[in-house]
Structure 1
Amino acid sequence: MKMSDVKQFSRLCMLLLMLLPVGLACAREGKFIPDGRLDEALWQQAGLFGQFFITQPLTLVEAKEKTTALFYTDEAGVYIGFINEQENLTRVGRLTLYDEDISDDFNEVIIDFNGKGIRAYGFKVSRENAAQDSIWSRETQESTDWNGEWFHASYSGEHSWQSEIFIPWTSLSMDVSPKDTREIKVYFSRWQQSLTRRLAFPAIDSSQTRFLDNFAAIEVSTEDYSSLDIFPYVSMNRDLLAHQSDAELGADFFWRPSPDKQLALSLNPDFGQVESDEIVVNFSAIETYLEEKRPFFLENHAMFDVRGPENLILVNTRRVGGQAFGQENGATDIDVAARYTQFGDMFEYGILAASEDDSRNIRGRDFLSARISYLHDNYNLGLLYNLTKTPQVARKAQVWGLDFAYEINNKLQLSGVYFHSDISANGLTEDVRDNGWSFTADYQAYDFWSQHLTLYRYGRDLDINDFGFVERVNIAQIAYDSVYEWPKGYRAWGISDFILEFAMDYSENEQDDDLPMSAESTFVINTHDNEEWEFELEYREEGIDDLITFGFNPARIPASHGVKLSYKSDQSQDLILDMSVATGKSGLKGRWTTYEFEPSYRLNEYVALELELTYSKRDSWLISLYEEDEEDEIEDEPEDEGGEEEDGANVLHDYRQEELSLAFNLSARFGEKHELRLKVEGVGIKAYGLDQFAAAPDGDLNPLGQAPDDFFESEFFAQIRYRYQISPLSEIYLVYGRGGESEFARPGPSFSHLIEDAVNHPGEENIFIKARFHF
């Protein structure tokens, strides 16, 4: 690091020190601050729930070990307490950083404040006082992207541990009740890591088709409130390679004039450089989906979350501020974003809008999404409209969507979505229109047996990716999935329970090509020693791959199959082993084998280490090296005229391939406010040319008699992140990141040489610092 970099960094540190008193002042006064001991007077008035049942495994018998949940509300908010009887010898305490999945004993409460089974808020607190919050929707779908203001603490005694939660009303959105009371629905659970067991009240589990609907009903007093939350932030990014610094100022505003309404405004939204995306090496025509990380777009987004098969997402907010047309890097500045939501007894409304900055000779895009839902006792209907304008190419993309969910009875639920796209742009002689639909039936024959049938069709010219996401279009498919759990197991064999899952699908495209039918079976065994064994078998028949040439001629691929055996050791131990081996036949000529080894080790309650190591080898790896230009996105569908571009796309290259990927994570927590994470990832690929083939219009592969050139490439990324929590939702981040990639044409480099070369030739190296305050 040069002296100029040190000076820039020092200046930003001085700015943050000046702002620190402001951040400290952001801590709310007058809030109930839990200490985990449940000795306050309010708990004497709380409702008690003490009959917990074992729901994982799904025996549904009453638990012998005592768990008591307490629930109380007043004008300030909601109070939840847990008392967990448990001896010291069976407790597990594992390190969990902010908002990560908890791998420890924990308590959970999920609350449906409208009592309709449409949406619920989830809150988890571990024995070591780690926490995670989430939004539940569509009965069984949990999203941990939501972050709300709530307070928690845990306390451990000699024969029990306790947790205490306080949720201010001002953190929640719900409809307005016309009465002085409202009926809400709650679910309490307790996870015992050492036993891999869940205890819950009521006796239901999220693996069942109807989960949110079966919560226990509680009558509470209705409270009217308003709130204003302001989240200003200041950040600076120092590019150590370009010797340039960029400073950003922005703010998010969340105003609730009443519990059922919220207006959110973001000026210069933070793109979320604190969290890095995983390294993905993608040679296919299917786009890699990236999760949203920016706080503004995560808050209260569940209303717009309409999904379907093929990873269909009608509103994918990662498009906003993402890579623009004609832009090489992956981010665009956003001027402003706004969202309005309103919850009612029968209707919900929402509007989301965002506008990108005009810069670097590129005109920013404009996004709009509007949604309305009608809610009934046993069904709901939703209507969605998306509009995206890309002035750079005079492109206008519109999408209309209609979705429904209908609960016929306690065992059978139906759901589906119909949507239509309309695209106009420079280079198109007329608008491109098409539609898609999906239909799903979920049948819970018994508590331990569920079945799912899905039918869908996405038209060839369907295009929702200006503001949405779908893995592929031009497909019609029928898919069936069945999950059977036997919770009693076989004690004589040391088996506590097992799960059997079977899935199959059949699909074709609009050219009447039969795409490969596939079937998959998975058998999971959990032992009394808390070990897990999984056996997986899959088969894919011979058929047409219509994506391998990026939309040009299809290719007929032979049948493939695979078998996989996985093992997970007792998750309550300091050293945890997670490993698997898989092998099978794929490609044109041979076998493939994959080894995965993922140990993790808990040094103490403050430091934990994780390693992920994967090695795979394929005798036949068939790919296209055709690179689609940006302009292709707005051109008409390529015609089969045998042009130079099409000929290049129709040439497939067959390689003998090896791939090694590794990841190392070090997590450390010091007290309740300091966190440190080291994340290192690397991947290396070796490809040795075997043959080349020309894909004919009928799908036949004609050998060209010439081996493609070998290639060797690697990617590397490392990040060190320090987080200091000033108060709930107020924090300071200091992040150093370095990433690079490398390519070789000559044979012989080892994996260590490949990854080392990517380390020594960085494509990015940054120091990023951000302070975000809440008041």
Structure 2
Amino acid sequence: MLLMPVAATAATGKSPADFRVTLGRTDRPPVIDGVMDDPGWQDGGLVTDLTQVLPVPGDKPTQRTEIRIVTDGNTLFVGFRCWDTNPEAIVRNRKQRDTFPHWDDRVGFSLDTFDTKRNGYFFQTNPNAMRHDVLLESENFEISWDTIWYVETSIDDEGWTAEFAIPFASIGFDPAVDSWGMNFERGIRRNDETARWSDWQPQNFVSSMGVAGTLEGVEGLDQGLGFELTPGMTIRRRDERGVGDRFEFDPTFDGYYKVLPSVTVSVTANTDFGQVEVDDIQIQDDRFALFFPEKRDFFLEDGLIFDFGDISQNGRPFFSRRIGFNPGNRTVGGGPARILGGGKLTGRLGPLKFGVLNTYIDDANDIDARNLLVGRAAWNIFGESTLGMIFTRGNPDGSAANNPTRGRAYDETTMTGGGRNSTTVGTDFLYRNTNFRGTGRTFRASLWWAKSIDDDHLSAGRNNGYGVKLEYPNDRINWLVGFEELQEDYAPRLGFVNRNDIRHSFNSFRYRTRPKSGPFRTIDNEIFGQIFVDSGNQLETIRVRAIPAKFTTAIDDGFDFRYLLRHELVRPTDFIPTIDVPADDYTFHEAAVRFFTSRNRPIRLETEIGWGTFFDGTRTRVDASLEFRPSHYLFMEVEYEFADINLPKRRGLAPGEPDRNDRELQLVRLKFDLLFTPNIVWSNFIQYDNRSDNAGINSRFRYILRDGREFFIVLNQNVETDENRANLTRSEFLVKGIWTLTF
């Protein structure tokens, strides 16, 4: 039985509209020290009626929770008192900001400050006072987003306590509304228990604002002047083989001004992102460019407003990572180009949300300085749905002469070429319903169309992209079906397209069983498939992944079995970076087993082993990761990817030229973090792959004096290796400080 009968649950007869709490007012703001003994908490609204989401949806929680919510007009204070009959069993491993606390005991809450039932903010902590903040937009998450807020916690012999303080200057809101959407959640990790205030359906999340409760009494809140200045300074020394040494001293500036409480103007000048975390190296086994996520704060702030069509990767008309990167390697956009300045206007006015982003990029790599512009608008309709449009203007690659990437050809710079300027326009409709046909289940649909036009290559109609997707993402049954076409001249220069001239069909299905007894919490049966054909309907690619059974325990130990089928058409002009295969049709298969242990323990292991055919040969692969967390002050992780590829030897190799078809590919990542406090962290990241014989070293010390006032020391090094020695080819050492002033 998957769901407890409604008549037998603590949520009997209640809908999200029945969950309401009033924001208390106090002239005695609590001191945020992790102990809820300040008298100001007694002025707050009270929430005690959480309902179990897991393991028994709709049942009463096993532990008692009391939540207080109060304001002094300038700051939102939320306090959680979490009673626990066995406080010694509280799980609290993570400490670093923005690590995912799902594997710890945790509390959190979401806010829909525009009362749109679509977007909002999510704040979460664990007993170590780790901070996790997320930007929410139409069921999408931006976990790299950060704002200014505070939390402290404490543990005693009756449980643990968390006190949050969220300045209203840190979040946007609509002063015209008299209530916000809000939801609360508590997790007890040792038995994988989750309890929530409004809505106990397992397929939803505390961040699902369409089923949130209501926070009343939000009138008269003060955001201050809405003015934020962040000056910064970067001191950098670069040593690069063949180039020499350079010493740089660069001031930077970011500014934010709320022209209205719900509309923000952001500016940046002489922007530097040297402190941003480095990308993971990836092993590539096909001919299409790799995708790397955005990590830069300026683009993450309100970045979800610019998301379009619910497109995950290929086909995006706008991808902010294209701004400030130039061609030069297999990563998206290649190496960095300085952003001389940029401005952004984002906000919400009634049912309208909008964003305009304009940046000016310095000249680099024989490409002139250039202006890049994107505009996005969407209207809220049908309760939880949106109808929108997008416009982009500009080409990050200037007047490069390469042709757009084709579905049948590998291009290592993703989308290069076109004229000095290029325009893309598009429209999308996103349907969302979190109470589909009155069942409490979720249904989604997405429809989009876009057209790209290069100024010096005006195409006659073969420059369109469009797609449709239907989803039923629920607990017992979860399915998806979709179709998209990217025509041969569809090449949005500010977007991400690594494969065009395709018609792409895709689908997935998962059936989940929740046994009443036994060692397993869930048993899943899954299948995923996709088919690519070209514009003439010639078959190019088939990929199928079947998981006949995936077994998972309450604390996330588990294992599964997998079968993978793949068909590839390789044409004479196709190039695959890691191997040489002749033009032909290939169908190959792989069987794999995967097992993983829980992150509750100090040591966690995950391994997947696969063997099968690979093009016209064989491949054995191992993907493994080992986490070691002896205390919440130290974290170590080793990731290892191995592939033993055996393909027929190719003719025509030059003397001494290695045979790429009889090789072992290896990738190693090593992470070593010292977490002195949640605000003082020394992170170290080493990566090596034997295809390039390069090792990358990133060491970053981060000291958060308080939110918005941070100090970084960063060392980046690149090392080339061969059989006899290692050579340092590039080294960068930087010191950076930023100091945010809020008015």
**TM-score normalised by length of structure 2:** 0.83
| Pairing 1:214–2:211 present | yes
Which residue of 262, 265, 274 maps to 2:264?
A: 262
Alignment correspondent of 1:145:
144
Alignment correspondent of 2:134:
134
- What letter is aligned with 2:600? S
- What letter is aligned with 2:739? F
Conserved? CA contact 2:328–2:335, under 8 Å: no
Give, in whole Å, the separation in 2 of the partners of 1:271 and 1:151: 24
What's the secondary structure of 1:340's corresponding residue? strand
Which residue of 428, 433, 449 maps to 1:418?
A: 449
Give, in whole Å, the separation in 1 of the partners of 2:380 and 2:323: 29
- What letter is aligned with 2:420? R
Which protein is richer in helix relative to its size? 1
Give the superposition deviation at 1:208: 4.1
Give the superposition deviation at 1:59: 3.3
For residues 190-209 of structure 1, the aligned pairs below 5 Å read: 190-204=186-200, 207-208=203-204
Give, in whole Å, the separation in 2 of the partners of 1:563 and 1:507: 22
Give the superposition deviation at 1:144: 0.7
Alignment correspondent of 1:54:
52
Give, in whole Å, the separation in 1 of the partners of 2:306 and 2:190: 38
Question: What RMSD in Å do the two structures reach over aligned CA positions?
Answer: 3.2
Alignment correspondent of 2:624:
597
Give, in whole Å, the separation in 1 of the partners of 2:303 and 2:650: 38
For residues 281-680 of structure 1, the aligned pairs below 5 Å read: 281-282=283-284, 284-306=286-308, 307-323=310-326, 330-358=335-363, 362-378=367-383, 379-389=385-395, 392=399, 394-407=419-432, 410=436, 411-425=442-456, 428=457, 434-443=463-472, 447-464=475-492, 466-487=493-514, 489=515, 491-492=517-518, 494-522=519-547, 523-528=549-554, 530-541=556-567, 543=569, 548-549=574-575, 555-590=583-618, 592-620=619-647, 655-680=661-686
| Pairing 1:722–2:725 present | no
Conserved? CA contact 1:54–1:62, under 8 Å: yes
Give the superposition deviation at 1:447: 4.6
Give, in whole Å, the separation in 1 of the partners of 2:532 and 2:350: 40
Change (3 A) 1:546 1:194: farther
Conserved? CA contact 1:423–1:432, under 8 Å: no
Give, in whole Å, the separation in 1 of the partners of 2:649 and 2:66: 58
Moved more, 519-528 or 326-335: 326-335
Give the superposition deviation at 1:361: 5.4
Change (3 A) 1:321 1:68: same
Give the superposition deviation at 1:96: 3.1
- What letter is aligned with 2:90? R
Conserved? CA contact 1:170–1:259, under 8 Å: no
Give, in whole Å, the separation in 2 of the partners of 1:577 and 1:538: 23
What's the secondary structure of 2:594's corresponding residue? strand
Alignment correspondent of 1:120:
120
Moved more, 249-258 or 576-585: 576-585
Give the superposition deviation at 1:556: 3.3
Change (3 A) 1:623 1:474: farther
Change (3 A) 1:44 1:546: farther
Give the superposition deviation at 1:285: 3.3
Give, in whole Å, the separation in 2 of the partners of 1:731 and 1:330: 26
Alignment correspondent of 1:12:
none
Cα deviations by residue, 1:659-701 (Å, 9 ceiling, x for unpaired): 122121111122343211121111114xxxxxxxxxxxxxxxx
Give the superposition deviation at 1:88: 2.6
What's the secondary structure of 1:243's corresponding residue? strand
Give, in whole Å, the separation in 2 of the partners of 1:671 and 1:174: 32
> Unaligned 5+ residue runs, structure 1?
1-29, 626-652, 686-712, 744-752
Conserved? CA contact 2:51–2:61, under 8 Å: yes
Alignment correspondent of 1:189:
185
Alignment correspondent of 2:411:
none
Give, in whole Å, the separation in 2 of the partners of 1:477 and 1:719: 38
- What letter is aligned with 2:67? A
Conserved? CA contact 1:424–1:432, under 8 Å: no
Alignment correspondent of 1:174:
173
Give the superposition deviation at 1:430: 6.5
- What letter is aligned with 2:467? S
Give the superposition deviation at 1:560: 1.7
Alignment correspondent of 1:66:
64
Cα deviations by residue, 1:14-58 (Å, 9 ceiling, x for unpaired): xxxxxxxxxxxxxxxx99652121222232132233233333447
Alignment correspondent of 2:248:
246
**TM-score normalised by length of structure 1:** 0.80
Give, in whole Å, the separation in 2 of the partners of 1:472 and 1:125: 40
Which residue of 728, 734, 738 maps to 1:762?
A: 728
Change (3 A) 1:120 1:768: same
Cα deviations by residue, 1:680-730 (Å, 9 ceiling, x for unpaired): 111114xxxxxxxxxxxxxxxxxxxxxxxxxxx412011221111121121
Conserved? CA contact 1:353–1:367, under 8 Å: yes
Total equivalences in the alignment: 671
What's the secondary structure of 1:308's corresponding residue? coil
Give the superposition deviation at 1:162: 1.1
Using the aligned pairs only, state the percent identity.
18
Change (3 A) 1:156 1:495: same
Give the superposition deviation at 1:546: 9.3
Change (3 A) 1:668 1:279: same
| Pairing 1:774–2:740 present | yes
| Pairing 1:739–2:718 present | yes
Conserved? CA contact 1:621–1:657, under 8 Å: no
Moved more, 333-342 or 47-56: 47-56
Give, in whole Å, the separation in 1 of the partners of 2:634 and 2:329: 44
Conserved? CA contact 1:194–1:530, under 8 Å: no
Give the superposition deviation at 1:580: 2.3
Cα deviations by residue, 1:575-608 (Å, 9 ceiling, x for unpaired): 2222221222221122x22223322222223112
Cα deviations by residue, 1:402-448 (Å, 9 ceiling, x for unpaired): 011124662433222111100124xx58688511111111235x652
What's the secondary structure of 1:422's corresponding residue? strand
Give the superposition deviation at 1:326: 12
Cα deviations by residue, 1:232-266 (Å, 9 ceiling, x for unpaired): 11002211342221221110000013211101010
- What letter is aligned with 1:321? G
Change (3 A) 1:206 1:473: farther
Conserved? CA contact 1:324–1:364, under 8 Å: no
Moved more, 392-401 or 717-726: 392-401
Change (3 A) 1:392 1:602: same
What's the secondary structure of 1:371's corresponding residue? strand
What's the secondary structure of 1:297's corresponding residue? helix
| Pairing 1:231–2:262 present | no
Give, in whole Å, the separation in 2 of the partners of 1:349 and 1:770: 32
Conserved? CA contact 1:568–1:579, under 8 Å: yes
- What letter is aligned with 1:267? A
Give, in whole Å, the separation in 1 of the partners of 2:503 and 2:572: 13
Give, in whole Å, the separation in 2 of the partners of 1:435 and 1:459: 6
Give the superposition deviation at 1:195: 2.7
Change (3 A) 1:498 1:42: farther
